[in-house]
Amino acid sequence: MGLLNVAALWLAWAIPALIALYLLKLKRREHVVPSILFWQHMLRDTRANAPFQRLRRNLLLLLQLLALAALLAALARPFLRTQQGAVRHRIVVLDATASMQGRDVQPSRFEAGRAQVARLIEGMREREELMLIHAGSRTRIAASFSSDRSLLRAALERMQVEDAAGDLAEAAVLAVSVAKTQADCEILLFSDGSGVDLSSVQTGGVPAQFIRLGTGSRNVGLTALDVRTGRGLDRRAQVYAAARNFSAEEQRFDLSFHLDGELVDVQPLVLPPGGEAGRLLQRPAYTQGILEVRLDIDDDLAVDNRAWAVLMPGRTLRVLLCSRTGNPYLERVLLLDPRVEVTRIEPAAYRPDMAGFDVHVLEGFSPGAPPAANALLINALVQEWSSATQNVARPFIVDWDRQHPVTRFCQFDEVGIVEGMVSEPPPWAQRLLEVREGALAWAGQQDLRRVVSLGFDPLKSNWPLRVSFIIFIENTLGWMDVMAQEETARQLAAGQVAQLRSAGGAGSLAVIAPDGERREVEAGPGGTALYADTARTGVYQVEGMAEPFRFCVNLLDRRESDIRPGEEIAFGRYERLEAGILQPAEREIWKWLVAAAVAVLMLEWWVYHRRSWI
């Protein structure tokens, strides 16, 4: 509380002046008397009415003092300090990503921000409205515009920080779009500003403040965890883990590996400022279990010091080869890999629903229906997947996808083809090889089934004589490896949607989160269920699948681990929001004091006249 007009306090001399009026006696008139007897009577009366008298208890005096004090206080213009300015609508965006768990501000950056928002709610003026936006792995409106403090406090209490990365730009776009529909609206961004860039947001001149949370940057975090299951004869896994020092000082710590809670290896690390190093757990003796990697260090962010992976035992890749041409090059390439077990059948014996195989390789003929497993189609056509086709003589490959796992490290610039079949890929696929007439090869994933389609016969080209043919087949088998798909499905980034498959088709699955909470999720007609509540890192267990299934959720995000608070945020193309604190606003209360003074004067008037009437 403070005063805007301190000079008005000099008028406080009116208080003793009012009291002095009650100390004075009545002034008597002069009288001429004919007799000394009457003079003595008048003298006694005069002595009794001296200029001053004792101050007696007087209700009128008390009421008048109260009214005068209220008027003097109103002239001094007192105010209350609140955590808000004079706007009608305010949108609060609270960052709830992993970096907000930083403990450089106690108990955490997120809790410090939530405390500031709570004070903002308590200081709301009459007819002011507040909106709360939770900016985590997914943006959501925690509370729409409301002036109900109890409702806003309950919504703020439900907002929780996550272990996931997020994009504050998505929340800013939502806030700006809402602010443009409201008159006299302001946006408050409560964030540490770590890795935040809002330059792409179309602000439209909406006023905004960046309230920075956090002061320190001492953190070391895990940035990578890669597991490769052994193939062929050696089926033991390889584990690679990497850590980075995001602080300004050298950090010494241990990188430890634990299998199902038991310590199996410890490797010391010394990282300079900004340094990064990786360690390989080479061919451990075990074949399966939950592997946990830990950084044994006490820094400002704990969520990135642990990561998990599901180790699966290696197994043979079962390939069903059905070829009309009997391509010897293809069969030899398949048999070169010790992890592959090839079963060869004739096209007449083939059925699309043949079970027990991980990959169906079909060459030179078209099945009546899509294969039930992963499929490599070589000069084969499935009408359900390719609706428009065209035969092209001597197609010339003009470009290919160099980033796709199937065509990575492959060169097609010297591949000559006698005849090819150009087709239009289905919506869920992408083009691999391009000729002038269209797509000569494509690859895609439909549900959990992966498909590669090659639109020409390798025997009618010089491709089998080139290294790229072997690399292409090996890449395709690796991309279709069921175990590889399971490993991908078993290790997710925090906030990523998990794709699960029910054992009995349509039904329900039960997912048990790392904190023990059990949640039911419904599977669709194909038995596929989507689980999106992965904002917490750790190991999740799934019940209701054909086999016991566990998947791991990790952070492994450099942007979130780099917890250095931002000095400013680019807000739109031209504006920059400098880091600051929530500035206190001054709410004057002189109107209430004047109203109180008037009320006391009315009471004093009533008391005075009541005495007169009595």
CATH number at residue 238: 2.60.40.10
Tell me if 563 is assigned to some domain: no
Tell me if 564 is assigned to some domain: no
Are 207 and 186 in contact by the 8 Å Cβ rule? The answer is yes
Maximum Cα–Cα distance across the chain: 158
Tell me if 240 is assigned to some domain: yes
Are 273 and 250 in contact by the 8 Å Cβ rule? The answer is yes
Are 561 and 301 in contact by the 8 Å Cβ rule? The answer is yes
Q: Based on the domain organization, do 472 and 333 belong to the same domain? A: yes
- Give residues with Cβ within 8 angstroms of 540, minimum separation 6: 498, 511, 512, 513, 514, 531, 534, 550, 551, 552, 553
Q: Based on the domain organization, do 549 and 578 belong to the same domain? A: no
Are 79 and 4 in contact by the 8 Å Cβ rule? The answer is yes
Question: Residue 523 is part of which domain span?
Answer: 486-554
Number of domains in the chain: 5
Q: Based on the domain organization, do 98 and 178 belong to the same domain? A: yes
pLDDT at 554: 95
Tell me if 560 is assigned to some domain: no
Lookup: tokens for 613: 């009437």
| Three-state DSSP class for residue 49 | coil
Q: Based on the domain organization, do 447 and 343 belong to the same domain? A: yes
Tell me if 559 is assigned to some domain: no
Q: Based on the domain organization, do 525 and 379 belong to the same domain? A: no
Tell me if 595 is assigned to some domain: yes
Q: Based on the domain organization, do 325 and 435 belong to the same domain? A: yes
Q: Based on the domain organization, do 52 and 135 belong to the same domain? A: no
Helices and strands counted in the chain (H then E): 11, 34
Q: Based on the domain organization, do 194 and 69 belong to the same domain? A: no
Q: Based on the domain organization, do 67 and 150 belong to the same domain? A: no
Q: Based on the domain organization, do 323 and 409 belong to the same domain? A: yes
Q: Based on the domain organization, do 294 and 339 belong to the same domain? A: no
CATH number at residue 106: 3.40.50.410
Report the C-alpha gap between 95 and 114 in whole angstroms: 10
Q: Based on the domain organization, do 420 and 282 belong to the same domain? A: no
Pairing of strands 340-345, 317-323: parallel
Domain final residue, candidates 260, 279, 314: 314
> Exposed (0-12), middle (13-18) or buried (19+): which is 293, by Cβ within 10 Å?
buried
Tell me if 562 is assigned to some domain: no
Q: What is the pTM of this model?
A: 0.64
Angstrom distances, CA of residue 449 to CA of 243, 372, 488, 531, 556: 34, 8, 14, 19, 28
pLDDT at 236: 65
Domain final residue, candidates 448, 480, 512: 480
Angstrom distances, CA of residue 337 to CA of 331, 345, 362, 582: 11, 20, 19, 64
SS (H, E, C) 534-568: CCCCEEEEEECCCCCEEEEEECCCHHHHCCCCCCE
Report the C-alpha gap between 601 and 67 in whole angstroms: 6
CATH number at residue 411: 3.40.50.880
Tell me the mean pLDDT per 10 residues along the chain, length 614. Answer: 65 72 59 60 53 62 77 72 67 95 93 94 86 94 94 95 92 93 91 87 87 91 82 65 94 93 92 92 70 94 94 80 89 83 92 90 88 92 80 92 89 91 90 92 88 93 92 88 64 89 74 93 80 94 84 94 90 78 58 80 76 58
Tell me if 155 is assigned to some domain: yes
Report the C-alpha gap between 603 and 29 in whole angstroms: 33
Are 17 and 68 in contact by the 8 Å Cβ rule? The answer is no
Are 424 and 453 in contact by the 8 Å Cβ rule? The answer is no
Domain final residue, candidates 422, 455, 480: 480
